[in-house]
Structure 1
């Protein structure tokens, strides 16, 4: 018995087709396959289910399915180019077979697979919903926490410097003000001194990560980034651009920093190229599935050089979880097959 994933064909046949969805279907099929592979025809076969009455004629049907396949392959090739060795799949020369890497996963590849799974929770996509490998509630919470840690490493590499995981719950279990004071004890630009009207029980005040790159003179005017990490379907509604510039400093600092904080939005999703400009316009700089894994690979070298990246030691646990999750698919598929046999 094979693992059954669902391809939402209506989203591929819409006026605005989603080739990323088809590419993700192939990747997930290869990821869960015992043979580490997915054939292009898997996508064609999946598109035939439930779509037999959606076409005006046979010619229209074949053209549409060819477009689904060609669109998926184009996105996969784009991912290979953007991510290099942090992309855990390879496409054969003929474009007929997608192969999942059989080697031990790197942290960048782990970040990609974590993004891929988070992109197909049922609030976002139907591909995994109802399958025997759909994560349970506790696993979903853990996956989102892991993503926070990978996002911290990715932002550290993005700015080329130290990063803190500030989002609640914090890995060191510190309180909001204690953590803020600790960070600014390093940055030394501004003074933490909450306004009397500021919230009395803040969790993270919408900022999940701080990262900076210092100058040797120790003076202000350095590269500083603040990021919101969003993994749910409402990620577009979580912009912190105006909050960073108009609210955060005034709430928590008596002497406000003069270094300008660059706004980042970090998400696990693959975004269409045509929509990306507007994403950046409304949300700030974005690290998404085609950027974050590459930055995570760079963070490994950054950490090895002595740069402090909070929660970096948790990334190996995420790699172990991803490996066990894939193997669990084998065991559960075999168990179901035995029951049916």
Structure 2
């Protein structure tokens, strides 16, 4: 619901949407009085109109809490602001910021992730004639993820995911990455048992923070970039163990796994969240628990807000974008995709 309101705000001609739009939407879709029960499993749905009204008020309150959390945690990289409309008393408005598509603030990356999520969740219907938008998401999100990893780690970042901008196959790409790293030797041939047409081996980004001496024993991160809803099936740690077989004369032992996703990590959190005994928890406690639980499988997690914030650190660095981060020179591709999608949505709105 929060994503839906953000989508309305960012695509509307006025650049804003009233949170009370949720109530209107709920009433239009709840003639049979079932929506209230679906929204709150403990609701006493007696079929009276006021039940739906209570559900609508509850939904609005929870969505405002969610939007307020995004304002707080994403900070200056959040492309919206939540304001009170004085003309309507205490009614709240979600308003698009003038800088909503600026890369240096990180807002462009949040906007891309929002549009990606809306397509994945069918909040934005993409007709067959425009499937190119969806097909390009993986490459665009790879750019966003590389920049975010670089901003968070202050590391050298190699874009390793397939298809690569360089057009290299797996073996030459792996050799190039470790030549750039400066230590360890990659085999000259494909190890027995591996597919000769291996694409990226489940690893999309390799990042490390070098010391001045250029030697090994550094911070080393391997990242899976997952732009779709199947991200839970993509922890990267086991894929890295397989890649170790491509080295000779010694290889790294320790590394940090990570994953990049375009959704808020808690987007599928049950409401209200519950502990192991079934006791209800405050929603924020459920979010805290979700991060702690997911860490065990994925390591460092870059979700939508973290990607937006971390990207801004690279692009807003003193002296301009920091060198050594693959993808920094391809920000224009992110902006172009967002502009094209926004133009298509505006065209459809005008025709409706």
Q: TM-score, normalised by structure 2?
A: 0.82
Q: In the alignment, which residue of structure 2 is the partner of 1:45? A: 24
Q: How does 1:133-148 map to 2 (within 5 A)?
A: 136-148=130-142
Cα 1:321/1:240, change in 2 over 3 Å: closer
Shift of 1:119: 1.1
The DSSP-based 3-state class of the residue aligned with 2:20 is helix
Q: In the alignment, which residue of structure 2 is the partner of 1:27? A: 6
Cα 1:308/1:95, change in 2 over 3 Å: farther
The DSSP-based 3-state class of the residue aligned with 2:330 is helix
User: 1:224–1:259: 8 Å Cα contact kept in structure 2?
Assistant: no
Shift of 1:295: 0.5
Shift of 1:142: 1.5
Shift of 1:197: 2.9
Q: In the alignment, which residue of structure 1 is the partner of 2:57? A: 66
Shift of 1:95: 5.7
1:318 counterpart (311, 330, 334): 334
1:112 counterpart (99, 110, 115): 110
The CA RMSD measured in Å over matched residues stands at 2.1
Q: How does 1:1-341 map to 2 (within 5 A)?
A: 22-53=1-32, 54=34, 55-56=45-46, 57-93=48-84, 94=90, 96-103=92-99, 105-107=101-103, 108-121=106-119, 124-129=120-125, 136-193=130-187, 194-244=190-240, 246-250=241-245, 252-258=246-252, 260-272=254-266, 273=287, 274-302=289-317, 304=320, 306-334=322-350, 336-337=351-352
2:129 & 2:55 partners in 1: Cα distance? 32
1:52 & 1:104 partners in 2: Cα distance? 37
The DSSP-based 3-state class of the residue aligned with 2:124 is coil
Structure 1 residue runs without a partner (length 5+):
1-21
Shift of 1:276: 2.6
1:330 & 1:38 partners in 2: Cα distance? 16
- Cα deviation per residue 1:174-223 (whole Å; 9 max; x = unaligned)? 22111111111121232101533332221100000111110112221111
The DSSP-based 3-state class of the residue aligned with 1:291 is helix
Shift of 1:104: 6.2
Shift of 1:319: 1.4
Moved more, 85-94 or 270-279: 270-279
Shift of 1:89: 0.4
1:290 & 1:150 partners in 2: Cα distance? 12
Paired residues, what number? Answer: 309
Shift of 1:330: 2.7
User: 1:230–1:238: 8 Å Cα contact kept in structure 2?
Assistant: yes
Moved more, 105-114 or 306-315: 306-315
1:135 & 1:106 partners in 2: Cα distance? 29
- Cα deviation per residue 1:53-75 (whole Å; 9 max; x = unaligned)? 21423343222212211111111
1:120 & 1:331 partners in 2: Cα distance? 18
1:135 & 1:118 partners in 2: Cα distance? 17
Q: In the alignment, which residue of structure 2 is the partner of 1:18? A: none
Runs of 4+ deviating beyond 4 Å: none
User: 2:222–2:256: 8 Å Cα contact kept in structure 1?
Assistant: yes
Shift of 1:141: 1.5
User: 2:260–2:302: 8 Å Cα contact kept in structure 1?
Assistant: yes
Structure 2 residue runs without a partner (length 5+):
35-44, 85-89, 267-286
